[in-house]
Amino acid sequence: INAEYMGCNNMGLGKRINMLMQAVFFKLSEVLDKERASQLLKESIVHEYGKKGAKVVEMNQKVVDIAFEGDENILHEIKCPAHWADAVDEAAPAKTGNQFVDDIMRPMMNFQGNELPVSALTAGGTFPVGTTQYAKRAIASYVPEWIPNNCTQCNYCAFVCPHAVIRPFVVTDPELEQAPGTFETRMAKGDYSGFNYRIQIAPKDCTGCEVCVNVCPDDALRMIGIEESLEAGEEQNWEYGISVPNRGHLTDRSTVKGSQFQQPLLEFSGACEGCGETPYVKLLTQLFGERMVIANATGCSSIWGGTASFTPYTTNSSGHGPAWGNSLFEDNAEYGFGMAVATAQRRSLLATHVQQAIDEKVGDMELQKLLAKWIRDHKSGDKVNKYLDQLLVSLRAHSSNQTVSRILDQADHLPNISQWIIGGDGWANDIGFGGLDHVLASGQNLNVLVLDTEMYSNTGGQASKSSNMGAVSKFALGGKTQNKKALGEMAMSYGNVYVASISHGNMAHAVKAMTEAESFDGPSLLLSYAPCIEHGMRTGMAKMIQEAEAAIDCGYWPLYRFDPRLTEKAENPFQLDSKRIKSDVMEFLKRENRFINLEKNNPKAVESMRANFNTYIQGRFNRYKRMVDAHKPLADVASGQRVTVLYGSETGNSEGLARELGSDFERREYSVSVQALDDIDLEELPHMGLIVITISTCGQGVFPRNSMLFWQELQKEKPEGWLKDLKYCVFGLGDSSYYFFCQTAKLIDARLAELGGQRVADMGIGDDGDEDKFETGYNNWIPGVWKTLNTITPESKLFEPTIAVQYVSDQHSQDWHWPGSSPISSKQGSVLITPEDYGRKFVTIEWKSEMPYRIGDSLGIYPTNNREAASDFLQRYGVDPNATISIQNNGTRDLPEVISLVDLFTKVADVFGKPSRRFYESLSHFAVDSNERARLVQMGLGEGEYSDMLAETKHYADILDEFKSARPPLGYLIEMIPNIKPRYYSISSSPKATPGEVHSLVLIDTWSTPTGKLRTGLTCTMLEKLTATDVVDGCIHPTAMEFPEDTAPMVMAGIGSGLAPFVAFLRERSWKRKQGIEVGNLALYFGNRYKDKEFLMEEELKQYEAEGLLTLRTAFSRDDPKKKVYVQNIVRQEPQLNYEYLVKQKGSMYVCGSREMPRPVQNSLKECFMEGGMTEKEADDWIIDMFTTGRYNIESW
Asked whether the predicted pLDDT for residue 873 surpasses 90, the reply is yes
Per-residue confidence (pLDDT) for residue 383, from 0 to 100 = 87
Model confidence at 1056, pLDDT cuts 50, 70, 90, reads very high
- Measured CA to CA, the distance from residue 310 to residue 281 in angstroms comes to 17
- Measured CA to CA, the distance from residue 584 to residue 345 in angstroms comes to 51
Distance, C-alpha 1159 to centroid of its chain: 37
- Phi and psi at residue 570, to the nearest 5°: 60, 30
- Measured CA to CA, the distance from residue 1055 to residue 1088 in angstroms comes to 6
Greatest mean pLDDT among 87-96, 344-353, 911-920 lies in 344-353
Task: List C-alpha distances in Å: 89 to 102, 134, 243, 1107.
Answer: 19, 21, 33, 65
Does 111 or 449 have the greater pLDDT score?
A: 449
Three-state SS at 801:
coil
- Measured CA to CA, the distance from residue 724 to residue 909 in angstroms comes to 45
**Spatial contact of 661 and 699, defined as CB atoms under 8 Å apart:** no
Model confidence at 640, pLDDT cuts 50, 70, 90, reads low
Asked whether the predicted pLDDT for residue 1190 surpasses 90, the reply is no
Give per-residue pLDDT as tens, 141-185.
999 999 999 998 999 999 999 999 999 999 999 999 999 999 999
Residue spans of beta strands (DSSP E) within 923-1066? 983-986, 997-1004, 1006-1008, 1014-1016, 1031-1037, 1050-1055
Distance, C-alpha 749 to centroid of its chain: 26
> Which of 406-415, 668-677, 699-708, 860-869 is predicted with the least confidence, judged by mean pLDDT?
699-708
Of 1149, 1138, 1139, 975, the C-alpha closest to 1062 is 1149
Asked whether the predicted pLDDT for residue 1170 surpasses 60, the reply is yes
Per-residue confidence (pLDDT) for residue 635, from 0 to 100 = 40
Per-residue confidence (pLDDT) for residue 638, from 0 to 100 = 41
Mean pLDDT of 908-928: 94
Beta pairing partners, 296: 326, 422
Per-residue confidence (pLDDT) for residue 351, from 0 to 100 = 96
Mean pLDDT of the chain: 92
Bridge-based pairing state of the strands 498-503 and 523-529: parallel
Model confidence at 4, pLDDT cuts 50, 70, 90, reads low
Mean pLDDT of 827-837: 95
For residue 491, the surrounding DSSP H or E stretch is helix 487-492
Number of Cβ within a 10 Å radius of residue 829: 17
**Spatial contact of 1183 and 1164, defined as CB atoms under 8 Å apart:** no
**Spatial contact of 291 and 417, defined as CB atoms under 8 Å apart:** yes
Task: List C-alpha distances in Å: 341 to 334, 354, 447.
Answer: 10, 20, 13
Asked whether the predicted pLDDT for residue 647 surpasses 80, the reply is yes
- Measured CA to CA, the distance from residue 1050 to residue 1042 in angstroms comes to 12
Give per-residue pLDDT as tens, 260-289.
999 999 999 999 999 999 999 999 999 999
Mean pLDDT of 835-859: 93
As a residue count, the chain comes to 1197
Of 847, 1193, 816, 861, the C-alpha closest to 1036 is 861
State the Cα angle at 1182 between 1179 and 1185, rounded to 5°. 150
Question: Residue 386 carries which DSSP code?
Answer: G
**Spatial contact of 888 and 920, defined as CB atoms under 8 Å apart:** no
323, 326, 330, 334 alpha-carbon torsion, rounded to 10°:
-30
Model confidence at 1055, pLDDT cuts 50, 70, 90, reads very high
- Measured CA to CA, the distance from residue 346 to residue 352 in angstroms comes to 10
Per-residue confidence (pLDDT) for residue 637, from 0 to 100 = 40
Kindly tell me the burial class for residue 1039, based on how many C-beta atoms sit within 10 Å of its own C-beta (0-12, 13-18, 19 or more).
buried
Kindly tell me the burial class for residue 1167, based on how many C-beta atoms sit within 10 Å of its own C-beta (0-12, 13-18, 19 or more).
middle
Three-state SS at 676:
strand
DSSP 93-106: PPP-S-HHIIIIIH
DSSP 434-468: HHHHHHHHTT-SEEEEEEE-SSBGGGT-B--TTSP
Residue 38: HSE in the Cβ half-sphere, 13 Å Cα cutoff:
13
The radius of gyration computed from the CA coordinates of the chain, to the nearest angstrom, equals: 34
The CA-based diameter of the chain, rounded to the nearest angstrom, is 110
Asked whether the predicted pLDDT for residue 683 surpasses 90, the reply is no
Of 1027, 807, 797, 1013, the C-alpha closest to 924 is 797
Number of Cβ within a 10 Å radius of residue 394: 19
- Cα-Cα end-to-end distance for the chain: 68
Asked whether the predicted pLDDT for residue 131 surpasses 50, the reply is yes
For residue 887, the surrounding DSSP H or E stretch is strand 884-889
Per-residue confidence (pLDDT) for residue 6, from 0 to 100 = 53
Give per-residue pLDDT as tens, 781-797.
999 999 999 998 887 77
Number of Cβ within a 10 Å radius of residue 310: 18
Asked whether the predicted pLDDT for residue 639 surpasses 70, the reply is no
- Measured CA to CA, the distance from residue 761 to residue 842 in angstroms comes to 45
| pTM summary value | 0.82
Asked whether the predicted pLDDT for residue 1111 surpasses 70, the reply is yes
Contacts of 1106 (CB under 8 A, 6+ apart): none
Per-residue confidence (pLDDT) for residue 794, from 0 to 100 = 80
Give per-residue pLDDT as tens, 210-224.
999 999 988 999 999
Asked whether the predicted pLDDT for residue 1179 surpasses 80, the reply is yes
Contacts of 911 (CB under 8 A, 6+ apart): 865, 870, 873, 905, 955, 956, 957, 977
State the Cα angle at 126 between 123 and 128, rounded to 5°. 115
Asked whether the predicted pLDDT for residue 1051 surpasses 80, the reply is yes
Does 499 or 951 have the greater pLDDT score?
A: 499
- Measured CA to CA, the distance from residue 1091 to residue 142 in angstroms comes to 66
Give per-residue pLDDT as tens, 497-513.
999 999 999 998 999 99
Model confidence at 8, pLDDT cuts 50, 70, 90, reads low
- Continuous H helices in 360-444: 365-377, 388-396, 402-409, 425-426, 433-441
